[in-house]
Chains A and B, each alone.
Chain A
Amino acid sequence: MSDSILYSVLLLASLGVVAAIMLYVVSKKFYVFENPLITEVEELLPSANCGGCGSPGCKAFAEKLVNTEDISDLFCPVGGNEVMKQVAYVLGKAVAEKDPTLAVLRCQGGCDVRPKTTEYQGPRTCAISAMIYSGETDCQYGCLGDGDCVKVCKFDAMYMDESTGLPVIITDKCTSCGACVEACPRDIIEMRPKHKRDLKIFVGCLNEDKAGIAKKACDVACIGCSKCQDICPKDAVLMVNNLAYIDPVICTLCRKCVEVCPTNSIIETNFPPKKVKKVESESEANVESINLKTDA
């Protein structure tokens, strides 16, 4: 009886020793040298693995940063200048400083202003419905509302607004990784500079149709009237194919264009409310009518 205990202990112990020796030999023989800097840089990166830098994941990006001579055109949009500075310090290389950007949605065609003229029955993804046809409304440039952008956002920075059928970007959470820009088959999402206090002015429309057709398809469509271009003191507005585009670099955020736009196509964000009475009373009227609706 005691023999068998002894034997099994011995056997297991010797097996353990043999395995340990094998492991030791193998680990010596197949040792892969990894630059310790890679781990160090990887720890600095945000571990979001979002792909916004163009590399498949943070580890790959860390390797790239360590192994590339000139890293001035590599950038982690999520970590931003802060992280890139630390990386530069660790590696002793120079990095570029970039203005932080934020995603904006260049379509305001919610259900209330852009009537549906057809019904789509296929799989609910923007990529597939864009492949099949121009969408449920008569605007073939606007948001399809199936939320491909929301699905790819790794930071929970987007959600679909049930009432409008449009995606919403939560600016505080948006890291400007660019995943949504990639995902949108209509190029509706644009990365615009964040500016101070996240002030932004941009044309929230991509409709290139002529005025009448655009307006019929959507109440808030840019009709290409050029009023914004005419009033802009800095020549920041570009008119191409019946559509205005505001160059974020030239624009000085003076807000003159916002007021002249007859279709309210130009979106301003985070500005303090203007002290113009007319506008206020209008928005009040809106609120009232909404209340009426909910009451009913």
Chain B
Amino acid sequence: MLKTFPKGGIHPPENKITSSKGIKKMTLPKVVYVPISQHIGIPAEITVDVKDKVDIGQVIAKSGGFMSSNIHSPVAGTVTKLDKIIDTSGYKKQCIVIRTDLKDESNFKDTAYPLKTTITLEPKDILQKINDSGIVGLGGATFPSHVKLSIKEGTKLDHLIINGVECEPYLTADHRLMLEKAEEIIVGIKILMFALHINKAIIGIENNKADAIETFKRIITKDDNIKIAALKVKYPQGGEKQLVRALLKREVPKNGLPLDVGVIVHNVGTIFAIYQAIQHNIPLIERVVTVTGKKLENPSNYWVKIGTPITDLVNEVGGLPEGTRKIVNGGPMMGKAIKNMDVPVTKGTSGILVISEDEASRGEPKNCIRCGECVDVCPMGLEPHLLMNLSEKGMYEKASAEDIMTCIECGSCSYVCPSHRPLLDYIRFGKNSVKKMNTSKN
């Protein structure tokens, strides 16, 4: 029996059409738009000015506090503007616009360095380096990694879990990374185990990526203390709480963190970024993005510079197909449609999904027929129909008492509802309102 989480879950069509496409290098963008707020928390503070020449990897915006992150220039070039550009949030946000210097050789240097396995830095320096390199959770949550790794003295910590689940349909960025950079990822895991003094690690991978599981099994040795766990294909297996439950049978307390049960979870992409930063001194300026969609000519996986406008990505795969209705930043379940094609790729962009008319429509919402489907699939054991109702009626106290804040926004409820009710939209709104209510109370 394959491991999985016990409550709820769904099986949306996988549609992993790019899983056999190796990660290619994206054509160098002519202009990059680098938002200063690519992570959860305080935006970074700009440290460059218009007309400044910047080097690749140079800090262009400094972390604005503990809960923030540095931002580095993804290219060598010249700052042309500090402007507000619509980003993935759907609103105009401060961006640093850099024109790439196409004559600068460093822009074309190959970053595929030979594998380096010996760890030379001390634990303290490793954590500092992760902080300096602007690394955030690359699974999509963009939580600053150094915050996750700043563990209070005396906290019991016994497992490092590596999230290679990639349960979102369509996306294959993590899958390809695991296949192509498996050895680097193992070194990355060892770096974290060393820095945090943890001696057990588990890589969780859904069973539909058998080749990745094989690859890892081949390269790890007995005394690495790293286990590979095949997981049942079920959405949202990649949710932190679901993953911890599946692998260790530990229940993360509601409103708590995996840390409360002695576990720390990192995405494979983040681990690779950590490897690059510690072993090769490369900050986070590039990430793997799956550019996919059924109608695209040539969907594939790419190494993309942060700040590359999505137009460039779509052009790379053969342009926008006719009848395109939505372009989604992320996967179909948790992603969000973007407002226009100039929206730049940020640290949290794992995929760009181009969908056509027939896939994009949401269906006319009808009344709730009390079928209970949403309750059945909710992995957090919530009652989505009730939460939607409460938030629609503005009963936020009650919604809060019904644990609305524990919703992980996986969208399973909206996905299954036969009445097409916009459950998650209202639940998100309810969560926002509860947050506001709580802050105004304090």
Asked if A273 CB lies within 8 Å of chain B CBs, one says no
Shortest Cβ distance from B338 into A: residue = A133
Q: Does A118 contact B (CB under 8 A)?
A: yes
CA distance A121 to B125 in the complex (A): 48
Residue on A nearest B91 in the bound complex, by CB: A134
Interface residues as binary, B335-367 with A (CB distance below 8 Å gives 1, 0 otherwise): 010011000000000000000000001100100
Contact residues, A116-148 vs B (CB, 8 A): 117-118, 121-123, 127-128, 131-134, 140
Complex Cα–Cα for A209 and B90 (A): 15
Q: A140 to B339, alpha carbons, bound, how many Å? A: 11
- Which residues in B have their C-beta under 8 angstroms from that of A140? 91-92
Report whether A132 and B90 are in contact in the complex, using a CB–CB cutoff of 8 Å. yes
CB–CB A133/B429 < 8 A: no
Nearest B residue to A117 via CB reads: B340
Cβ contact within 8 Å between B428 and A134: no
Q: Which of B89, B340, B362, B429 gathers the greatest number of chain A CB atoms within 10 Å?
A: B429
B365 & A123 in contact (Cβ 8 Å cutoff)? yes
Choose among B339, B422, B426, B429 the residue that contacts A134 (Cβ–Cβ < 8 A): B339
Given A123-B365, A123-B422, A140-B91, the answer on whether A118 and B339 have CB atoms closer than 8 Å is yes
CB distance from A193 to the nearest CB of B (A): 28
B397: CB under 8 A from chain A?
Answer: no
Give the chain A neighbours of B340 by CB distance below 8 A. Answer: 117-118
What's the tally of chain A residues with a CB closer than 8 Å to chain B? 13
A133-B90, A133-B91, A134-B86 are contacts. A128–B429 as well, Cβ < 8 Å?
Answer: yes
Q: Which of B90, B91, B362 contacts A121 (CB 8 A)?
A: B362
Give the nearest-CB partner of B84 in chain A: A209
Please indicate the chain B residues that have their CB under 8 angstroms from the CB of A131 in the complex: 428-429, 432
Report the bound CA distance from A243 to B296 in whole Å: 43
Q: Mark A102-122, 1 if CB is under 8 A from B, else 0.
A: 000000000000000110011
Give the docked Cα–Cα distance between A131 and B336 (Å): 12
Assembled-state Cα–Cα distance A117/B86 (Å): 13
B425 contacts the other chain (CB 8 A): yes
Shortest CB–CB separation between residue B70 and chain A, in angstroms? Answer: 27
Tell me the smallest distance from the CB of B310 to a CB of chain A, in Å.
14
B91 touches A127 (CB 8 A): no
Within the complex, what minimum Cβ distance (angstroms) separates A136 from chain B? 10
Q: Which residue of A lies closest to B363 (CB)?
A: A121
| Contact (Cβ within 8 A) B425 A122 | yes
Instruction: State in angstroms the CA–CA spacing of A233 and B361 once bound together.
Output: 54
CB <8 Å contact, A133 and B362: no
Residues of B within 8 A of A122 (CB): 362, 422, 425
Chain B residues within an 8 Å CB radius of A121: 361-362
Provide the bound-state CA to CA distance between A209 and B428, in Å: 29
A107 and B46 alpha carbons, distance in the complex (Å): 33
**Selected contact of A128 from candidates B86, B339, B426, CB within 8 Å:** B426
CB distance from B86 to the nearest CB of A (A): 7
Q: Write the nearest CB–CB distance from A8 to chain B, whole angstroms.
A: 47
User: Once bound together, how far apart are the Cα atoms of A123 and B363, in whole Å?
Assistant: 11
A122 to B104, CA, bound (A): 46
Taking the closest CB of chain B, its distance from the CB of A260, in whole angstroms, is 28
B425 CB, min distance to chain A CBs, angstroms? 5
When distances are taken between beta carbons in the complex, the residues of chain B under 8 Å from A127 are 429
Contact of B90 (CB < 8 Å), options: A117, A123, A128, A134 = A134
Residues of B within 8 A of A134 (CB): 86, 90-92, 339
Given known A133-B91, A134-B90, A134-B92, contact A123–B339 (CB-CB < 8 A): no
CB distance from A235 to the nearest CB of B (A): 29
User: Please, how many angstroms separate the alpha-carbon atoms of A248 and B426 in the complex?
Assistant: 38
With both beta carbons as reference points, the residue of chain A lying nearest to B422 in the complex is identified as: A123
Give the docked Cα–Cα distance between A103 and B430 (Å). 27
Q: Which residues of B contact A132 (CB under 8 A)?
A: 90, 336, 425
Which 6 residue pairs across A and B have the least CB separation, nearest first?
A133-B90, A123-B422, A121-B362, A128-B429, A134-B91, A122-B425
Residues of B within 8 A of A (CB): 86, 89-92, 336, 339-340, 361-362, 365, 422, 425-426, 428-429, 432
Give 4 A-B pairs besides A132-B425, A134-B86, A209-B92 with Cβ atoms closer than 8 angstroms: A122-B422, A133-B89, A133-B90, A133-B339
Q: List 17 A-B contacts (CB under 8 A).
A: A117-B339, A118-B339, A121-B361, A121-B362, A122-B362, A122-B422, A122-B425, A123-B425, A123-B426, A127-B429, A128-B425, A128-B428, A132-B336, A132-B425, A134-B86, A134-B339, A209-B92
